[in-house]
Amino acid sequence: MANSALQTVSRSHEQPLYFLRQAALVVGASLFIAVCAHITIPLPFTPVPLTAQNFAVVLVGLLLGSRRGFAALALYLAEGAAGLPVFNPLGHGGIAQLLGPSGGYLMIYPLVAFIAGFVFEHGKRSFARAFTGALLAEVVLFMGGVGWLYIWTHSLAQAAYLGLYWFLAAEVLKIMLAAGIAARWGRSAKRTAA
């Protein structure tokens, strides 16, 4: 009886710590994405810059999983919409950036992180699974981004020119890097737990 009461008290003290840790992970991930958003290369032929942000979004989804990844990106968008300097510095910031040419990429970020995390957390945490999750997430990302540019330009060819072709090689590298980090992290976490 005393042992059962002790376990109940112990669990009641662990629960707030658990939620505090989860919140810290989500907030930290949103800040990591903000830092990566500032690693930006402007491209003169498109209003969409090349950033490390997409890499960060996919990596957060892979490492935190679907729910926490989604939460981190929803928080990131809320921070940006509130005017905090978390988006890439070449845009107008705030709501204007969400509604600007790169807004389609930004608005789909929570779903992108969710997809990457969902695929990776349902199966063996291998490089192949991480790569598959990252690739599917990137396909959704560019569907959102190019779709939004289509609304701006009223031309699918122009939208693809502005928001897809120039980014393919860099995105393949980002996917491979994110998948490699996630797979290695998963293996080291498994060894630590054993």
Give the CATH number, domain containing residue 113.
1.10.1760.20
Is 0.95 topped by the overall pTM?
A: no
Judge whether 80 lies within some domain: yes
Token pair for 4: 């059962």
- The answer to the question of residue 180 being in a domain is yes
pLDDT of residue 6: 45
In a domain? residue 193? no
Rounded Cα distance between 81 and 90, Å, is 16
pLDDT of 123: 87
Residue-range definition of the domain harbouring residue 36: 2-188
Residue 113 lies in a domain: yes
pLDDT at 15: 83
Asked whether residue 17 is domain-assigned, the answer is: yes
194 in a structural domain? no
* C-alpha–C-alpha distance, residues 35 and 37, integer Å: 5
Q: Walk along the chain (194 residues) and give the pLDDT tens digit of each residue.
A: 545 544 554 556 678 888 999 999 999 999 999 999 999 999 999 999 999 999 999 999 999 999 999 999 999 999 999 999 999 988 888 999 999 999 999 999 999 999 999 999 998 889 999 999 999 999 999 999 999 999 999 999 999 999 999 999 999 999 999 999 999 987 766 655 55
Residue 24 lies in a domain: yes
Report the number of distinct structural domains present in the chain.
1
pLDDT of residue 178: 97
Q: Rounded distance, CA 12 to CA 177, Å?
A: 40
